[in-house]
Amino acid sequence: MKQILTTLAPSGLRLSALMRPCRRARGQALVETLMVIPILLMLLIGLIDIGQLLLANYTVSQAARAAAHQAALAGGNAQAANQTAADVLDGGVGTRADDAAILVACTHSPCRRYDPITVSITYVGNFWTPLPPLFEQFTLRGEATRAAERDEQ
């Protein structure tokens, strides 16, 4: 190999000069890497935030559905619906019931059989990877309606 390179090398050039990269090329690669790293980090943080939003949105909608179902079974009992929604929110990935406002509404008071019961949940959460000027908090809303299956006791 050394013999082949010596025959290809123009006279006066050393073999070591041909085999090592130019200092200028190494510096250019370093600068390009430093320019690309922040962009890749922003993309990674954005993907994490989008994943968190999707998980939290799923959990909030499931909590609203479960709470509406429980309220329908309990005849519009808001306490049972609130407890069910809190259990689902606390069981979700990265969601807490303390960050949610849960509202249970029935068209009549007291709630009668077949009256629609609506459960609305407003959830305000903090991003796992906050970027202070842009992304610090997010707000999600979930709502579900079911017909009461019995009169409120």
- Which pLDDT belongs to residue 8? 53
From the number of C-beta atoms within 10 Å of its C-beta (0-12, 13-18, 19+), residue 81 rates as buried
- Which pLDDT belongs to residue 134? 78
What is the distance between the alpha carbons of residues 76 and 151, in angstroms, rounded to a whole number? 8
What is the pLDDT confidence band of residue 96, given thresholds at 50, 70 and 90? very high
Take residue 33 and report the two structure tokens written for it: 């890497």
- Which pLDDT belongs to residue 107? 87
Parallel, antiparallel, or unpaired: how do β-strands 100-106 and 116-131 relate? Answer: antiparallel
What is the distance between the alpha carbons of residues 133 and 41, in angstroms, rounded to a whole number? 16
Q: What is the 3-state secondary structure (H, E, C) of 85-144?
A: HHHHHHHCCCCCHHHEEEEEEECCCCCCCCCEEEEEEEEEEEEEEEECCCEEEEEEEEEE
Using DSSP, state whether 146 is helix, strand or coil: strand
Give the least confident one: 18-32, 33-47, 98-112, 128-142: 18-32
- Respond yes or no on whether the N-terminal peptide bond of residue 21 is cis (omega within 30° of 0): no
Using DSSP, state whether 152 is helix, strand or coil: coil
Asked whether the predicted pLDDT for residue 18 surpasses 70, the reply is no
Domain residue limits, the chain: 15-147
What is the distance between the alpha carbons of residues 84 and 89, in angstroms, rounded to a whole number? 9
| Segment 47-52 mean pLDDT | 93
